[in-house]
Amino acid sequence: MRWTRKFFNQFEWLHKPISPLEESFLLPLQINKSGSLISERLGLKLPDKYWSIIDGYLYFSDEYWKLFLQLGTLQLPKRIKTEIDISSKRWITKVLPEYQKEINKLNKLSLNELSVKKLLELFKKTGELESWFFSESLYVGVVCGITELLFKYSYPLFVKDSDNNNYRELLLGYPDKGIDMDTQLWEVAQISDEQKKQLQLGKWIEKYGYRIQDKDLIYPTLGEETELLNSYLKLYRETLNPKLKLMLTNEKRINREKFVKQNARFRIRLFEWILNQAQNYSQIRNSRPFYYQGNSIMRKILFSIKLKANFPQDKNDIFYITMKELEEVVSNKFSKESLQKIINERKQTYYKQLLIEPQFSIEA
């Protein structure tokens, strides 16, 4: 079977090898849940095996195009229209509140008071929650992409504009969770009293420190990287207030909206619907990655397990064992020496994989 990394060039995720713990637990959960959700809502049956990890890197089946060679494809336009109408409301009124409610419960738990076995159960439960949320986030991201593409290709049909790429200006300047976080960090940086600044930084980390670097559990969250955060604070002392830039962006959108009204080839409800949906979904798309809080919690749980199970050596060793091995460690079925040997071998493999550029297409 042929596998491809074709779609990875478009996005920034998963360009490094996947850690053994991620590979054996969270990633399969997230991919399979996402696949099921897309299949269920868009009526397309996915093949049994459509993804694989080869030499540490995630690949998808090269025969992805066969997805559209099934009867379900005939229903696709209608299903897409329905999903565009309901997905944003589902995301905002159901998914986000439910996720946040569960995250708030998890954040209130005192990990020190839990036994190793309870911590492991909690780890699995958090993984399930994060996988559900990830699947919903990926799904709504697909809908975001569809609405933008619909808008991109309809813009030149409905608007007289010398540059068709100007459609992008209509999707800018909306509330964005990531930019809000960064603007608040900028405000912390402007505090001249060092003690007060560090206090406010602590509050910022409590609120937003869960921000992830990449999908894999092995990567520290932004809140764990205090040196990096202090670099940002130093950088921001030399940076102008971002609110001005954001105001200009907002103005750009308003001016482009006026331009569209004045230069529409014909007024038609369909185009207005496409524009409204694209604008609606652009707000969701930009903010999605800034909601992922599960990795931060799972990392804390893992480090608690490491301490209580008297885990070998380095803090990050735990990411080089599989989920099954983690269960065995918790049940005291593993000797420290044999575990350390496995970890050392896996680390070597991982570092070798880090140096290699994965093949774009591979037969396996």
Q: What CA–CA distance (Å, rounded) separates 103 from 292?
A: 10
Q: Provide the minimum distance between the beta carbon of 11 and another protein in the complex, in angstroms, as a whole number.
A: 6
Work out whether 363 is an interface residue with another protein (CB under 8 A): no
Which residue stretch of 128-136, 173-181, 193-201, 304-312 sits at the interface with another protein (rule: CB under 8 A)? 173-181
When binding is defined by CB under 8 A, the residue of 199, 235, 354, 356 that contacts another protein is 235
Which residue stretch of 61-69, 78-86, 96-104, 210-218 sits at the interface with another protein (rule: CB under 8 A)? 210-218
Q: Provide the minimum distance between the beta carbon of 225 and another protein in the complex, in angstroms, as a whole number.
A: 8
Q: Provide the minimum distance between the beta carbon of 29 and another protein in the complex, in angstroms, as a whole number.
A: 21
> CB burial class (10 A; 0-12, 13-18, 19+) of residue 210?
buried
* Beta carbons of 50 and 64 less than 8 angstroms apart: yes
Q: What CA–CA distance (Å, rounded) separates 292 from 179?
A: 15
Among residues 196, 150, 195, 178, which one has the least CA distance to residue 285?
178
Q: Provide the minimum distance between the beta carbon of 63 and another protein in the complex, in angstroms, as a whole number.
A: 22
When binding is defined by CB under 8 A, the residue of 22, 176, 216, 325 that contacts another protein is 176
Work out whether 65 is an interface residue with another protein (CB under 8 A): no
When binding is defined by CB under 8 A, the residue of 115, 165, 331, 361 that contacts another protein is 165
Q: What CA–CA distance (Å, rounded) separates 314 from 34?
A: 33
* Beta carbons of 172 and 252 less than 8 angstroms apart: yes
Work out whether 48 is an interface residue with another protein (CB under 8 A): no
103 vs 122, beta carbon nearer another protein: 103
Near another protein in 290-349, by CB under 8 A: 290
* Beta carbons of 222 and 207 less than 8 angstroms apart: no
Q: What CA–CA distance (Å, rounded) separates 262 from 155?
A: 14
When binding is defined by CB under 8 A, the residue of 93, 100, 107, 239 that contacts another protein is 239
When binding is defined by CB under 8 A, the residue of 18, 172, 201, 302 that contacts another protein is 172
Alpha helices in the chain (DSSP H): 20-21, 27-42, 72-90, 96-108, 116-158, 177-189, 194-208, 226-237, 242-263, 269-287, 294-308, 323-330, 336-355
* Beta carbons of 191 and 299 less than 8 angstroms apart: no
Number of residues that bind another protein (CB under 8 A): 46
Q: Provide the minimum distance between the beta carbon of 258 and another protein in the complex, in angstroms, as a whole number.
A: 18
Q: Residue 15 CA to chain centroid, in angstroms?
A: 14
Tokens of residue 15, six digits: 């360009």
Binding-site ranges for another protein (CB under 8 A): 8-13, 15, 145, 148, 165, 168, 172-173, 176, 178-179, 182-183, 185-186, 211-214, 221-222, 225, 227-228, 231-232, 234-236, 238-239, 242, 245-246, 248-249, 252, 285-286, 289-290
